[in-house]
Amino acid sequence: MPYRELDLNLTPEQTEMRDLARRFGSEVVRPIGIELDDMHDPAEVIAEGSPLWTAFRQYRELGLHKRALPKAMGGMAEDMDPMSGILIAEEMGYADAGLAISLGVASMPFAACAMSPDPGLQDLARAFCEDTEASLIGCWGVIEPDHGTDWVLANTEAGEDTNIVPSVRAVKKGDEYIINGQKAAWVSNGTIATHCSLHLSVDPSRGMRGTGLAIVPLDMPGVTKGKPLNKIGQRPLNQGELFFEDARIPASYMLVPDPAILEMGAEMGLARVNGGMGITFAGLAKAAFDEAYRYSKERIQSGRPIFDHQNIKLKLFKMYKMVEAARSLARRTALHNAVSAPSAPPAVASKVLSTETAFEVASEAIQIFGGNGLSKEYCIEKIFRDARASMIEDGVNESLALAAMEYL
C-alpha cells in the first residue's frame, strides 16, 4: 500500500483477517480476474478447468464462504466481528470486484436456508458450509426482462400500480408451488448456480408488492438456463438468464410466502445489499488510485517521474481525497447496519458514492497513464470497465436514490 492507513484501532485479529484477505486477493483473485477478463467467450470463464474454479475452491478452503452463516450450521457469523467482515469485503473489491460479487452471492440462498425451520433446507445450509469444492453455488434472481427498476421502486409510490406485475410467478397447489416465468440475463452466478434465492410474485393483485422469496434448486425439471452474458465489465462475474416452466418446489421452500413480510423488510434488504456494494467498490476505487500512484512514480517524462509534475500531484490528491471519503462512508454505514437496524439512505449513499468515485478515479487514472492506460498490458483499463458496470448493477444509481429517499 503506497500510503498509511487511517485505521488506528484495528485489533490484532482484525489486522490478521485483513492481511489474509489481502494476500488472497493479490496472489489469487487479482491474477485470476485478469485472466478471466481476457477470455473472449464468457463460456470459457465457466468451463471445466477454468481458473474461476481455482478461485472458488481456494476461497472456500479459507472458510470465507461461511461468513454469513450461523455457527449452528457450521458457519462463522457469530465468530466474525463486523469490522473483520468489512475489511474482507473491501480487500476482495480491491482485488477484483466482479469475482468479489460472484464469491459473495454464492452464499445467499444457503444463508437464507439457515433461517428456515425446514430440516431439509437447514441440511442444505450445513452442506454449503462443508463444501470446499464449489459443488454448491448460489445465485440471486430478481431482475426480469421487463422489470428492473420496478423491483427497486416496488415499495415507493411507483410500486402501487397493480397493473405492473413480476413475470416470474408462483401458484400454490396443495403442498407445492408451481413457478413460471423468466429472469433476465443479469442474474449473478445465473448459469453456474445450483440454487437460487428467487424473488417472485405470489399475489399478482398487489403488483410489484405482492412478492415472495423462494429457494429453488436449479437442477429440477422445468428450470433451464441461458448462455453466459457477454458484457463490457466485471467479466469474471458470471451472469445469465433463468427460465421456469411449471417448476415445482415444496411449499416449505417458499421462505417468505407473505408479501407483507418482504414489504416490512424492504429497507433492510436495500440497506444490506447497497452497504455491501459500497464497501466492495470503495475497495475498487482504492485499487484505481494505487495503480495511478504507483505508475506516476515509475513513468519518466522530461527526465523525471511524472509524479514530480504539479499537475499529476494535484490529480492524485483529488483522487486520494475522493477515495478516502468513499471508504469512510462505506465503513461507517456497514458498521452501523451490522449492529443496529439497517438504514437504507446511508447504505444507498455509500453505494452511489463508492461506485461513482471508483469510476471517476479510474478515469483520472487512465489520464495519468496516458496511452498506456488504454492498453490491456495494464489493469487500469479493466478497473475502469468494472467501475462503469457498478453504477448500473443492483439498481441504477438514480433509481436507488429515489428509493432511498422514501426512508429518509
pLDDT in tens, 215-248: 999 999 999 999 999 999 999 999 999 999 999 9
Mean pLDDT of 357-378: 97
Is 138-263 CATH 3.10.180.10? Answer: no
Q: Looking at the predicted structure, is the pLDDT value of residue 190 above 50?
A: yes
Q: Which of 7, 5, 253 is nearest to 115 (CA)?
A: 253
Helices (H) and strands (E) in the chain, counts: 15, 10
Mean pLDDT of 378-407: 96
pLDDT band with cut points at 50, 70 and 90 for residue 116: very high
The three-point CA angle 368-326-407 to 5° equals 140
Between residues 341 and 236, the one the model is more confident about: 236
C-alpha cell at 147: 422489470
Proportion of the chain above pLDDT 90, given as a percent: 92
pLDDT in tens, 152-177: 999 888 888 999 999 999 999 999 99
Does pTM top 0.85 for this prediction?
Answer: yes
| pLDDT value, residue 144 | 96
Q: What is the mean pLDDT of the chain?
A: 95
| pLDDT value, residue 247 | 98
Whether the domain at 138-263 and the domain at 265-405 fall into the same CATH topology: no
Which CATH code fits 12-130? 1.10.540.10
At residue 394, φ and ψ (nearest 5 deg) are: 60, 25
Cα separation, 63 vs 69, in Å, equals: 11
Q: Looking at the predicted structure, is the pLDDT value of residue 3 above 70?
A: no
pLDDT band with cut points at 50, 70 and 90 for residue 9: confident
| Location of C-alpha cell 504539479 | 310
pLDDT in tens, 60-82: 999 999 999 999 999 999 989 99
Q: Looking at the predicted structure, is the pLDDT value of residue 365 above 90?
A: yes
pLDDT in tens, 293-339: 999 999 999 899 999 999 999 999 999 999 999 999 999 999 999 98
User: In 10 A of CB 39, how many CB atoms?
Assistant: 17
| pLDDT value, residue 1 | 47
Residue 303 one-letter amino acid: G
| pLDDT value, residue 6 | 76
Is 265-405 CATH 3.40.50.1820? Answer: no
| pLDDT value, residue 269 | 92
pLDDT band with cut points at 50, 70 and 90 for residue 8: low
Task: Report how far apart, in Å, the C-alpha atoms of 87 and of each of 10, 25, 279, 373 are.
Answer: 10, 12, 8, 28
| pLDDT value, residue 160 | 86
Query: Any idea where the domains of the chain sit in the sequence?
Result: 12-130, 138-263, 265-405
Task: Report how far apart, in Å, the C-alpha atoms of 96 and of each of 266, 285, 339, 386 are.
Answer: 29, 11, 27, 9
Packing angle, helices 344-369 and 310-339, rounded to 10: 160
Bridging pattern class, strands 211-217 and 176-188: unpaired
